[in-house]
Chain A
Amino acid sequence: MELYSLTIHELRELLKKREVSALEVTKSYLERIKEVEPKIDALITITEDFALQKAKEADEKIKKGEDTALTGIPVIIKDNISTEGIKTTCSSKMLENYIPPYNATIVEKLLEEGVIILGKSNLDEFAMGSSTENSAFKTTKNPWDLSRVPGGSSGGSAAAIAADEAAFALGSDTGGSIRQPASLCGVVGMKPTYGLVSRYGLVAFASSLDQIGPFTKDVTDCAIVLNTIIGHDPKDSTSLKIDKPDYTSYLKEDIKGLRIGVAKEFFGEGIEEGVKETVQESIKVLQDLGAEIIDISIPYVEYALPAYYIIASAEASSNLARYDGIRYGHIAEKYEDLIDMYMVTRSEGFGKEVKRRIMLGTYALSSGYYDAYYKKALKVRTLIKNDFEKAFEKCDVIIGPTSPTVAFKIGERANDPLAMYLADIYTVSVNIAGLPGISIPCGLSDGLPVGLQIIGRHFDEGKILNVAYAFEQANKFNAKPQAIGGAR
Chain B
Amino acid sequence: MKYEAVIGLEVHAELLTESKIFCSCTTKFGGEPNTHVCPVCLGLPGTLPILNKKVVEYAVRAGLALNCTIANFSKMDRKNYFYPDLPKAYQISQYDLPLCSNGYVEIEIDGQTKKIGIKRIHIEEDAGKLLHENTDGSLVDYNRAGVPLIEIVSEPDMSTPEEAYQYLTKLKSILEYTEVSDCKMQEGSLRVDTNVSVRPVGSTELGTKIELKNLNSFKAVQKALEYEIKRQIKVLEEGGTIVQETRRWNESKGITEPMRTKEEAHDYRYFPEPDLVPIIVTDEWKEEIRKSLPEMPHHKRERFIAEYGLPEYDAKIITSSKKMADFFEKCVLEYDSPKTVSNWLMGEFSRLMNETGKEIDEVPVTPQMLVKLLKLIDNGVISGSIAKTVFEEMFGTGKEPEVIVEEKGLKQIANENELREIIKKVIAENPKSVEDYKNGKEKAMGFLVGQVMKATKGKANPQLTNQILKEELSK
A328–B270 Cα distance when bound, in Å, is 25
Q: Which of B39-47, B161-169, B436-444 contacts A (4 or more CB under 8 A)?
A: B39-47
Picked from A81, A318, A326, the residue with its CB within 8 Å of the CB of B140 is A326
A104–B82 Cα distance when bound, in Å, is 26
Q: A102-B39, A315-B274 are in contact. Are A322 and B45 (CB under 8 A)?
A: yes
Picked from A100, A234, A374, the residue with its CB within 8 Å of the CB of B44 is A100
A328–B84 Cα distance when bound, in Å, is 12
Query: Who on chain B is nearest to A365 by CB?
Result: B269
Task: Contact check, B45 vs A104: say whether CB atoms are below 8 A apart.
Answer: no
Query: Who on chain B is nearest to A233 by CB?
Result: B48
Task: Contact check, B47 vs A200: say whether CB atoms are below 8 A apart.
Answer: yes
Chain B hits for A203, CB < 8 A: 45-46
Task: Contact check, A235 vs B48: say whether CB atoms are below 8 A apart.
Answer: yes
Chain A hits for B82, CB < 8 A: 321, 324, 342
Q: A318-B269, A322-B88 are in contact. Are A204 and B276 (CB under 8 A)?
A: no
Chain A hits for B46, CB < 8 A: 80-82, 88, 100, 104, 200-204
Task: Contact check, B48 vs A321: say whether CB atoms are below 8 A apart.
Answer: no
Q: Map CB proximity to A onto B77-100 as digits: 1 under 8 Å, 0 otherwise.
A: 010101010011110000000000
Chain B hits for A206, CB < 8 A: 274
A318–B92 Cα distance when bound, in Å, is 11
Query: Who on chain A is nearest to B276 by CB?
Result: A237
A316–B267 Cα distance when bound, in Å, is 17
Assess whether A101 is interfacial by the CB under 8 Å rule: yes
Task: Contact check, B274 vs A322: say whether CB atoms are below 8 A apart.
Answer: no
Query: Who on chain B is nearest to A201 by CB?
Result: B46
Chain B hits for A407, CB < 8 A: none
Total number of B residues with any Cβ neighbor in A under 8 Å: 28
A320–B23 Cα distance when bound, in Å, is 21
Task: Contact check, B277 vs A237: say whether CB atoms are below 8 A apart.
Answer: yes
Chain B hits for A321, CB < 8 A: 80, 82, 88-90
Q: A321-B89, A322-B87 are in contact. Are A237 and B275 (CB under 8 A)?
A: yes
Chain B hits for A101, CB < 8 A: 39, 44
Near A by CB (< 8 A), chain B positions 34-78 give: 39, 42-51, 78
Picked from A208, A235, A327, A338, the residue with its CB within 8 Å of the CB of B42 is A327
Assess whether A157 is interfacial by the CB under 8 Å rule: no
Chain B hits for A324, CB < 8 A: 82, 84, 89
Chain A hits for B447, CB < 8 A: none
Q: A207-B274, A207-B275, A321-B90 are in contact. Are A102 and B44 (CB under 8 A)?
A: yes
Query: Who on chain A is nearest to B83 by CB?
Result: A338
Query: Who on chain B is nearest to A98 by CB?
Result: B45
Q: A102-B39, A203-B46 are in contact. Are A367 and B87 (CB under 8 A)?
A: no
Minimum Cβ distance to chain B for residue A434 (Å): 12
Assess whether B285 is interfacial by the CB under 8 Å rule: no
Near A by CB (< 8 A), chain B positions 258-279 give: 267, 269-271, 274-277
Assess whether A382 is interfacial by the CB under 8 Å rule: no
Chain B hits for A81, CB < 8 A: 46
Assess whether A282 is interfacial by the CB under 8 Å rule: no
Q: Which 5 A-B pairs have the closest CB atoms?
A: A321-B89, A207-B274, A208-B274, A365-B269, A82-B46
Residues of B within 8 A of A (CB): 39, 42-51, 78, 80, 82, 84, 87-90, 140, 267, 269-271, 274-277
A-B contact pairs, 8 of them (CB 8 A): A95-B45, A102-B47, A204-B45, A318-B78, A318-B89, A322-B45, A328-B44, A367-B267
Q: Given contacts A201-B47, A317-B269, A365-B269, could you give 12 more A-B pairs where the C-beta distance is less than 8 Å?
A: A81-B46, A100-B46, A199-B48, A203-B46, A208-B274, A236-B50, A238-B276, A321-B80, A324-B84, A327-B140, A338-B84, A374-B271
